[in-house]
Amino acid sequence: MPTRGSLKKGVKAPDFTLKVTPDQQVSLSDFKGQPVVLIFYPADFSPVCTDETAVFDKLLPKFKKYKAQLLGISVDNVWSHLAFARERNIQFPLLSDFHPKGEVAKTYNAYREEDGEAERALYLIDKNGNIAWSYISPVGVNPGAEEVLQTLEDLSK
């Protein structure tokens, strides 16, 4: 099903606060002054999502070179995220957009009403808090990280 399209370049990224553990929260504004990559994905433990998070995790040193913070976001609950991160050894935070379900994904035009999951969407937010690049991939396709890294490189010039 076609998506409404991602938020456009130059738009102020909507702030949010989501749980990373049952008693800890992370806000987008916590990373003010540094680039942030939002990785919206449909579900923990699904084949494409497992591959996608593995790609970003493997490339984490390249993102750190640009001082970029990666944040994975899905509608799964924090317990699922914790189990998924532990099993897959994911070294970046996975945030739960569980309740109210998909609220943050909706603000980023990255929620699939037809199945109640997040789109497979990537957002690069620059150090000023604006959308620098975005892409919504077909749900069954791992978009990889090359374009995000290229945009980070371009921003660093």
Per-residue tens of pLDDT for the chain, all 157 residues: 334 578 889 999 999 999 999 999 999 999 999 999 999 999 999 999 999 999 999 999 999 999 999 999 999 999 999 999 999 999 999 999 999 999 999 999 999 999 999 999 999 999 999 999 999 999 999 999 999 999 999 999 8
Length of the chain: 157
78 domain residue, yes or no: yes
pLDDT score at 6: 82
- What CATH number is given to the structural domain containing 33? 3.40.30.10
Angle between helices 47-58 and 78-88 (to 10 degrees): 60
Residue 136 phi, psi (nearest 5): -110, 115
The pair of structure tokens assigned to 134 is: 């975005």
- What pTM does this model have? 0.95
Exposed, middle or buried, 47 (CB in 10 Å: 0-12/13-18/19+)?
exposed
- Could you tell me the CA-to-CA distances from 14 to 124, 125, 149 in Å, in that order? 12, 10, 22
How many structural domains compose the chain?
Answer: 1
Enumerate helices (H) and strands (E) in the chain, giving the number of each.
5, 9
44 domain residue, yes or no: yes
95 domain residue, yes or no: yes
2 domain residue, yes or no: no
Domain of residue 36, residue span: 17-155
47 domain residue, yes or no: yes
80 domain residue, yes or no: yes
Told to judge if 49 belongs to the known catalytic residues of this protein, a careful annotator would answer yes
Q: Which of 18, 28, 49, 71 is catalytic?
A: 49
12 domain residue, yes or no: no
Separation CA 33–CA 118 (nearest Å): 27
23 domain residue, yes or no: yes
